[in-house]
Every structure is written in C-alpha cells, then in structure tokens.
Amino acid sequence: MWDHEADVVIVGYGGAGASAALTAIDAGAKVLVLEKNPEGGGNTKYSGGSMREYLDVEKASDYIESLCDGTTERDVIETFVREASLNTEWMKGMGAEIAPRGLPKRFPISAPVAYPTTRGAEGIGSRLRIKGATESGGIDLWGVLARKAAEKKVNVLCSTPAKQLLIEKDLGVSGVVATNGDKDIRVRARRAVILTCGGFEYDQKMHLNYLGQSYFGLCNPGNTGDGIRLAAEIGADLWHMSGTASSLGFKFPEFPFAIRQFISSPGFIYVDQLGKRYMDEPGTDSHLLWAPTSYIDTKTLQRTRIPSYVILDEDTRLKGPVAETGRGKVSDVYQWSADNSAEIRKGWIKASDTIAGLAAQINVRPDVLQQTVAHYNMQCVGGYDPEFGRAPDTLVPIGRPPYYALELWPCLFNTQGGPKRNARAQVLDVRGNPIKRLYSAGELGSLWHRNYPGAGNVSEALAYGRIAGRNAAAELPLPQ
C-alpha cells in the first residue's frame, strides 16, 4: 500500500527543505525528501545567499512588524528573529565561515538597511554571507547544505513532484502522493509532512489573481505554486499572497525566464510607454520595484509602465554590464558581456545616434523622449530632482551618443504567499487551528509580506526550516 515510509516527509529540496531535513535527522527522525526537479537547490541555489544579522530582538521585531503592516503575528516574528540569529553559528557548525557582505555599487540599490526611518530599524544589522562566496552566493550556501546532507545520508527522491496530501480522520496528515516517472507513488509520513516547495514564481495565472499583474521569474522554474494547492486542498488558510520580492529585468524569447537589470553607473533613466520618467531609478530598493511599475491609467485601464524602457548613453554602457547573469536561473546558461557589445549585436539592446532615433525603435513619441532626457539632464546640472528625489550623486546625465534602450519588465526573485503558519511552523486552517502533522517553512507562506527589505528569505528558510524539522520530528508516530 505504501511505496516509501519515513518519520518526516519533506516536500521540496531547497534551503528550507535541507534545513528541515538536517534538523529532523539530528533529532533522530528518519527523513525522506521529495524534489520536483532533477536536482535540489531551488531558488536558494540561484540566490545571492545573503542572510541578515539581527542586533536586538525587540527592535528588529518592531521593524519586521511594521514592514508586514501588522499581518504577521508578533510571536511568529520574534521566534524568527531569535532563531535566525543562530544561522551563523549553525552554518559555522557545518564548516562555513560567515562574514558581512560588502554591497556592490550597482543600481538599483540594495541598501544595507532598506528602510532606515521605519520603527525598529536600529535593530537591523548587516547582510551576511559565506566568506569568500562567488557573485552568486547562493551556490556557495547551497553547497554547504548539500554537502552536509550528503554526509548525513539524507534520502532525496528527485524528479518526484508531490501532488496530493493524504489525511487520516482525527489523526491529521499521514502521507503524500507524488509522481515518479510515469507512476504515482504513496509515501507514508509516520510523524509529519513539511512543505518547503517554494512560491508561485512561474504561474502567471496566480500572478494575475494574487499579485494583480504579471511577472517573469528570475528564479527556479520548479516553483509553480504546488505547495499552495496542496495545502489549500485540505483547508489551509493562506497569507501574504500579494507579497513579492521583485525587481526589473529583461525578457528575451531565447529564454523562458528573465534576466535582472543591474547597472554599474547611475547614468540611466526609466521611461514609461509615454516616454516619461516616473521614479527615483537608482535609489529605490531593488526588492520593491513592483510598486512603481504597478500604475494603471484609470481612464484607459492601460498599464503604461509594463513594459517600461531603460535609457542610457555610451559612458554608462562602457562602465559595465547592464544585467546580472552571475545569479538567477540565467546563470546556468548565459554570461552577459562586460561592455554590453554582444547584446547590442544580438539586437537585445537597441542603439541609435539620436534620442529621436532611439524613441522610434521603442515606439515612444520622439519629441516626448527628447524632452524627458533634456529635462533630466538639466536637473543633473542643478543636482536636484524635485519630482522623484534622486540623490544628487546619482544625477548623472544621459550625455554622449550612441544612446541605448532595453525593454524592462517586473521580475520575481520570489513570491511570499502560501499557507499561513504559526511560531511552531505548523500550517493553520482558516479558523487558526494547526492542521495536525503539517508544517511549512521558507518562501512558501513566508512571514514577509509586500515591503520586503532584502536578505530575509534565506534567513527565514534556514530558521523556520530548523523549527519545522525539530517539531515535526517530535510528533508522536501514527498508530501502525
């Protein structure tokens, strides 16, 4: 009747899944992990691998509570801050050295503390990552977790997506149905199931329903919202379904995922489809870019900022790549050229000796784009941008031709929504009661909501992964 059996069955082998598996094994449980992709790593492997240092539990919790607009219970936040503060020691115990992360001077910015005027911001410390990590960072972090998991002989079934949770009356979740090859398998969970199968970055219908607009993914294509359907089917409450960490990027037909825009010089502007600027381009935190692009013209119902266009000149082009291909899904298949010349040749970057010529290539009115660039350049001379508040040192003019443009789309690092959990990592039903023997961790039903400050999702995946692993392993086994 059962194809496999374990004390704790974990669905999804990214950072949260690995953290839960390692902790449950340390607590003496027999663990089986089911992973949809041919190999583990998920978004965690494609990430920057940044974690957050918290300096003071009370203040850091105030900060997170404010950013979450009161949607996340205080005990969930405080438990997170306390447990995340142990991430460094935990990683050290696996042989990894953790160090503060120097932020690259690239734009849009990722500030050390994203919202310094928010209540409790003084409790927020540096971003941390594995010392000497590559540009990706996530690969190094995943390497540490995966090596430890191999050493502890964590049993992982890859290419085995979970498709249904099984429940036994009065006892709770008792197993999982998954697909392996062309057949369904039944996996019994003697103590509990932990869902760590990521968000819905690659389900565009869910984007339209829950996020209000469509996005492209920068991340792991296996994250298609499965955990939300699995949990909703057995009555889980959902939270943070409109929350994302999202940036802006490029989408080319050659790839089914997006490439993040990240420029070495602040000498660029964004314009909408009418050829007008609409934000502080380099100075808006790079995780919150869904907000300025979500504008709808209320007369025409057009989304005039999706797509937008980034405009730059020859000096900015020569300062370095305008895209980031060292992390994200793209890092598997493409490296952007140092001076952007390969991408000009491919036609990905439009070029013209005049602003009017560039406007014609992106279907924007030439007179409006000329006026926008001229007005912006005047503000650079004065060092003052009254409309959007760009910092004076980022007011670098669009000067020397040729001029360049790329189409810009909202892109997801990750979504935050999913089944709601409590401070013990138990999944809750719509009345706020734990669904027996069901736990979750990571970006699936994250504690973060819309105002995401960076370096929080990896911290949470590791911290709530351990909490889920510990508590799942401590459940009493189901009767035989």
Ligand X SMILES: Cc1cc2nc3c(=O)[nH]c(=O)nc-3n(C[C@H](O)[C@H](O)[C@H](O)COP(=O)(O)OP(=O)(O)OC[C@H]3O[C@@H](n4cnc5c(N)ncnc54)[C@H](O)[C@@H]3O)c2cc1C
* Residue among 4, 7, 31, 47 that touches ligand X (CB under 6 A): 47
- Residues numbered 127 to 166 that lie near ligand X (CB under 6 A) are 161-162
Q: Is the dihedral of CA 102, 96, 425, 200 positive or negative?
A: positive
CB atoms within 10 A of CB 137: 22
- Residues numbered 212 to 231 that lie near ligand X (CB under 6 A) are 218-220, 222-223, 226
Report the distance separating Cα 54 and Cα 37, nearest Å: 33
Report the distance separating Cα 403 and Cα 360, nearest Å: 12
Nearest CB to ligand X, comparing residues 264 and 377 = 264
Q: Which residue has the tokens 């007005």?
A: 375
Q: Any contact of residue 87 with ligand X (CB under 6 A)?
A: no
Q: Any contact of residue 15 with ligand X (CB under 6 A)?
A: yes
* Residue among 174, 196, 308, 316 that touches ligand X (CB under 6 A): 196
Beta-strand runs (E) in 82-154: 98-100, 124-130
What are the structure tokens assigned to 310, written together? 């980034």
Q: Any contact of residue 284 with ligand X (CB under 6 A)?
A: no
- Residues numbered 398 to 417 that lie near ligand X (CB under 6 A) are 413-414
Q: Any contact of residue 457 with ligand X (CB under 6 A)?
A: yes
Q: Any contact of residue 197 with ligand X (CB under 6 A)?
A: yes
Q: Any contact of residue 31 with ligand X (CB under 6 A)?
A: no
Q: Any contact of residue 456 with ligand X (CB under 6 A)?
A: yes
The closest alpha carbon to 285, from 127, 114, 48, belongs to 114
Report the distance separating Cα 440 and Cα 426, nearest Å: 6
Binding part of the chain for ligand X, among 47-55, 62-70, 87-95, 186-194 by CB under 6 A, reads 47-55
Q: Any contact of residue 306 with ligand X (CB under 6 A)?
A: no
* Residue among 7, 31, 43, 326 that touches ligand X (CB under 6 A): 43
For ligand X (CB under 6 A), the number of binding residues is 44
Nearest CB to ligand X, comparing residues 87 and 372 = 87
Q: Any contact of residue 198 with ligand X (CB under 6 A)?
A: yes
Binding part of the chain for ligand X, among 57-65, 68-76, 339-347, 453-461 by CB under 6 A, reads 453-461
* Per-residue b or e along 82-102, where b marks 16 or more CB atoms closer than 10 Å to that residue's CB: ebbbebbebbeeeebebeebe
Q: Any contact of residue 434 with ligand X (CB under 6 A)?
A: no
Report the distance separating Cα 412 and Cα 414, nearest Å: 5
Binding part of the chain for ligand X, among 22-30, 378-386, 399-407, 449-457 by CB under 6 A, reads 449-457
Does the bond joining 108 to the residue before it have cis omega, within 30 degrees of 0?
yes
Least distance CB 51 / ligand X (angstroms) = 7
Nearest CB to ligand X, comparing residues 120 and 456 = 456
Binding part of the chain for ligand X, among 54-62, 275-283, 360-368, 450-458 by CB under 6 A, reads 450-458
Does the bond joining 402 to the residue before it have cis omega, within 30 degrees of 0?
yes
Binding part of the chain for ligand X, among 45-53, 288-296, 372-380, 400-408 by CB under 6 A, reads 45-53
Phi, psi of 44, deg, nearest 5: -55, -40
* Residue among 14, 108, 123, 175 that touches ligand X (CB under 6 A): 14
Phi/psi region, residue 69 (left: phi>0; alpha: psi -120 to 50; beta: rest), is left
Q: Any contact of residue 316 with ligand X (CB under 6 A)?
A: no
Report the distance separating Cα 206 and Cα 200, nearest Å: 7
Report the distance separating Cα 191 and Cα 171, nearest Å: 10
Q: Any contact of residue 61 with ligand X (CB under 6 A)?
A: no
The closest alpha carbon to 406, from 445, 465, 364, belongs to 364
Least distance CB 83 / ligand X (angstroms) = 15
Q: Any contact of residue 12 with ligand X (CB under 6 A)?
A: yes
Contact 281, 270 (CB under 8 A): yes
Instruction: Give the interface with ligand X as residue ranges (CB under 6 A).
Output: 11-17, 34-37, 40, 42-44, 46-50, 161-162, 196-198, 218-220, 222-223, 226, 327-328, 413-414, 442-444, 455-459, 461
